[in-house]
Structure 1
Amino acid sequence: MARVDYLTFVPDGEPTLDSRLGESIDALRELGLPIAVISNASLLWYPEVRVALARADWVSVKIDSVIPRVWDQINRPHGVLRLVDILSGIQRFAAEFRGRLVSETMLVEGLNDAAEDIAALGRFIVSTGIGRAYLAIPHRPPAVAGVRGPDESVILAAFRTLAGQGLEVELLTAYEGDVFAYAGDLRAEILAISAVHPLRTSAIRALVEKAGGSMAAVDALLAAGELHRLEHEGETFYMRRLGGKG
């Protein structure tokens, strides 16, 4: 049996938007497993959010850029969100948190992959005391057509820059695979997973085979408007349609 490293909060949305996140973390403690939360860090400037998140054992905060203009281009934030507040929130949380804190950066070609941007990013991460930085690229269809990750040489240059600043760096640039759990209801599983992670054709076929079904179930979801196809980097993905039934 595989060992469980963490119970991780990765919902369809930002987990710190849940006003009862801290209570949920506490409720899971009886299972005896470490708790992880993957956050976009947008609400860490609220003290009550930092208190709730501090109940976790491992937290990842998203820092795509420390340059406001670049950060705005990538994240297209709500009008009340300002990068200066978010970065300040990350610094405060890093000073208060007693668990394991890491950062994640999504590298986007032509936006945040310039050498000076990466160097500034690294300086900020180091200043917070965060020791490990993850670098990711878009694997799934983005919200804006044409968005893609940088070339391999640019990714490796970013890796070397951050490592040279004393950070432990890990690349999240490889496809994570087609292994998804199946709990007994194929329709529900497809809709639940694809609402958070668009499924490649290979992944959805693997899930269908695990359920002992056929692609007819997928075709039915497409016909009902609950699922739709997307193309990205030469691959076909299936994603739950927002506002769909079920």
Structure 2
Amino acid sequence: MGHRLTSGLAGWLTYQQMSREILDYESSLRGPLDHLAAGNNYKAYKEFPLLRKDDQIGSSKKIDFAFYPRKVTKKSPGIILMETKYNKNGTYAGLITSDIKKMMAWDIPSLVINAKNRCTKLDSYIEEQKPYGMHRDALHERRVWQKFAEYPETTEILRCILFVWRGNNIFCDWKKENEAVQNQFTELFDRALPKGVRATRDSRQKLLLGKIPYKQVLNSKGSLRAAHTKTNAPYWCCTLFETPEWKNIKGSKPLI
């Protein structure tokens, strides 16, 4: 599923470039990701809220996307937690390492408790708003949270980072990332180089700018696709999948 999102988004970005539209904001990716998820029998919850025990103001965190299958059964595919990063002019908001820490703090039991807490709070809100006819949106949201509350503990979570950038605007913030993240990305990127081309700074720059051909990459660590035309520097779409090394990135304890 993560690879399909990467490939589909690369195709969509290619279409946008053919229309000579340049996308400069991370929010512009949300619509097509939602559409791509629906095409793969998933639903997307954008800005998925995660609550601490006390649920006080300022105690919540959000994950950019939680993708979940339309039907919950014992054989349901897993939940996908995805953070998106859009690199504009060589910089991006926050670190990929920080997003990994946030996602790694959550497992299925924590998500189920989180969902049950949301359902309880929505029940109270719905009762309050019924007399005014203002409860319909809350009813829909509660049905979504009920699905998360019903997931068995054996459900798998795929945690991933979708990283999008254009041309060679990438390396300014990269040195701040955890070494495991840097190595994972570098391995994917070097595999995209054509056969017989050594991984050097010059060859990477040429690849980023679309001056030499690239190989599409897909393995257990992630996927990498380019979206480009003859006239514009390419967009690059990279998905970093969770690896065992992510568990060694020190992060916050589970919030629940």
TM-score normalised according to structure 1 size: 0.28
**More relative contact order in 1 or in 2 (CA 8 Å, sep 6+)?**
2
Q: TM-score, normalised by structure 2?
A: 0.28
